[in-house]
Structure 1
Amino acid sequence: MIFRKASTKDLPSLAELRWDFHFEDHQPEPKVSKEVFINEFTEYLENSLNTGKWTVFIAEDNGFIISHIYIRKIDKVPKPGSIHREYGYVTNVYTKPAYRNQGIGNKLIQRVRNFAGSEHFEFLIVWPSNRAINFYEKAGFKIHNEIMEFRFD
């Protein structure tokens, strides 16, 4: 098993996994074809990886990506007590079903924590599904605040 940061050569596999991840949670039918999604996703993630907007950590088994976790670096607005700090938004954590409960996700989340620490992030946030709360608690995340949102429908 190899754990590493994703590169642009991984884009097709990451797009396929994102498509699979969407349907595993019984999400609504897509509004676009798989081909359109793959093209849009690949273009978006290529730009995001090249600009450092997103970092993706992956687990690879025999040349196939079997798990991933995304982290987005977000700048905070400077304030007198903290001139410039960043935090990380963790999302899109997915492991193929056949590889679950083997500690792979734990190893990936540890890499995210190490990365965030080396980048001097102030904190990490995540909006976990109910079934993922235990996973994040084991990784040291704590429920801290209630989030409010406004959606444009």
Structure 2
Amino acid sequence: MEYRKLQTSDIDAFVENRIEFVTLIRNIENVELFREKTREYIETYINSDNLIIYIAMENKNIVASCMLCIFQTIPLPSNYSGKVGELLNVYTKQEYRKQGHSKKLIKLLMDEARKKGVSKIILNYTDEGYHLYKSLGFKEIDTQMEYKL
């Protein structure tokens, strides 16, 4: 198994991997538009400090992945740097689960995020991923809300 950062040549495969994951957990109203916007975002930010993507490759196929979108907010008492990462799309193909691939990728991603000055990572979890995140030290917060514009 090869664990590494996403490269430009991997974008198409990663986009399909992301589509596979997201369609497993929710309905996508317009898959083609979602695919197009995902590709556009990754192409724009892959070489920036705002996006980190790690993949696990076997036989030239992505079998696991995770990404962190980094943004800046005002410093908070819980986050003096104001740099926040949102962990998204932690996904391992069914036949590769329970072998530690996601945990390895998240640790690589967290190390890089720390070097980039990120001091807080947030995520939305599924029931299936809950224990993985707890084992990595993530803590539940229940005071967050959202409003869609």
SS in 2 for 1:141: coil
* Counterpart among 98, 103, 106 of residue 100 in structure 2: 103
The answer to whether the 8 A contact 2:79-2:120 is kept is no
SS in 1 for 2:102: helix
Correspondence for 1:39? 36
Moved over 6 A (4+): 79-83
Shift of 1:5: 0.8
Shift of 1:47: 0.3
Q: Which amino acid aligns with 1:140?
A: G
User: 2:48 matched to 1:51?
Assistant: yes
Cα distance in 2, alignment partners of residues 42 and 105 from structure 1 = 22
- With over 3 angstroms needed to count, the CA separation of the structure-2 counterparts of 1:132 and 1:46, relative to structure 1, is same
SS in 2 for 1:51: coil
The answer to whether the 8 A contact 1:12-1:38 is kept is no
Q: Which runs of 5+ in 1 are unaligned?
A: none
Deviations 1:103-142 (A, max 9, x none): 1011011112211222232221111122221110011111
Correspondence for 1:24? 24
Q: Which runs of 5+ in 2 are unaligned?
A: none
Between the two proteins, what is the percent identity of the paired residues? 28
Task: Give the count of matched residue pairs.
Answer: 149
Cα distance in 2, alignment partners of residues 13 and 82 from structure 1 = 34
**Mapping for residues 139-150 of structure 1, pairs under 5 Å:** 139-150=136-147
Deviations 1:10-62 (A, max 9, x none): 1110111111112222x2253244xx543332222110213332110111112
Shift of 1:79: 6.5
Shift of 1:71: 0.5
Aligned alpha-carbon RMSD (Å): 2.2
TM-score by length of 1: 0.85
* Counterpart among 110, 116, 120 of residue 119 in structure 1: 116
User: 2:6 matched to 1:6?
Assistant: yes
Cα distance in 1, alignment partners of residues 70 and 54 from structure 2 = 14
TM-score by length of 2: 0.87
User: 2:113 matched to 1:128?
Assistant: no
Q: Which of these two proteins has the greater Rg computed from alpha carbons?
A: 1
Shift of 1:80: 9.3
Correspondence for 1:60? 57
